[in-house]
Structure formats: structure tokens, C-alpha cells
Amino acid sequence: MKILLKQVGFYLIFLILLTFICSLLNLIGLNSTITNFLLFIFNILMFLILGFKRGIKSNQKGYYAGLKIGLILLFILIIINLIVSQKLFTLPTMIYYLILLLCSIFGGMLGISRKKEEN
């Protein structure tokens, strides 16, 4: 449980820093489409990395470990989205959440297979 909370905290810090950097890029004059794409790519990478780390720590199924961390992080994103935006469950956001969840699951599967290779 302690490791899970540590990973969630790491993600929240990463998300705050990334949002701050993208806001600065928007302020400088970079197109908001580009900054949204950067947020999307970095969120995918973060879900993949945290799923991978969770899979390495897991003793059983990697996809389950990735699913667990992915659902927790998605829950946090949904709460943030509820606070910030009125559009919560549109088709693009549902696809976005599904892609993030699949990346987390894939990361968990990679992590557990990496762990098995090392043993």
C-alpha cells in the first residue's frame, strides 16, 4: 500500500509540473493543440512507466497490477476533471481514459514479464 501511495504521489507531482510547463508554453505563444498533445504523450508515458513499476513489484498477474494503478490514477484524473471542466464524459475523454488505462495495463504486463526474465 505504501508503494502504491508513493507512485500516486509521484504521478500527482509530475502532473502538476507538466501542467505548469504547458501553461508556460501557452503563455509564450505555443499553440494549445501542441501543448494538449504534449500532455497526452507524457500522460501515456507516465501511465506506462507506473504500470511497469507496479508490474515489477507484483507477485501475480501483471495486467491486474497495471489495471489497479491505472484505475486509481484515472479516478484522480476524473476528480480533477470534475473540478476543472464541465465536460466529463464525452466520447473523446472516454477514449482518452481508455488509452491511458490500456497503457497502464500494458506497462504492468511488461513489468511482470521483465521480472520473470530476471529470475
Residue 28 identity: I
Distances (CA, A) of 64 to 46, 67, 81, 107, 116: 17, 5, 25, 11, 16
Q: How far apart are the first and last CA of the chain?
A: 24
The number of distinct structural domains making up the chain is 1
Query: What is the pLDDT, as a whole number, of residue 119?
Result: 62
The overall pTM is greater than 0.75: yes
The boundaries of the domain holding residue 29 are 2-118
> Given 3-state DSSP classes, what are the helix, strand and coil percentages for the chain, each rounded to the nearest 5?
85, 0, 15
Residue 58 CB neighbour total at 10 angstroms? 19
Query: What is the pLDDT, as a whole number, of residue 103?
Result: 93
16-49 pLDDT, tens digit per residue, is 888 888 888 888 888 878 888 888 898 899 899 8
Which pLDDT band, with edges at 50, 70 and 90, does 57 fall under?
Answer: confident
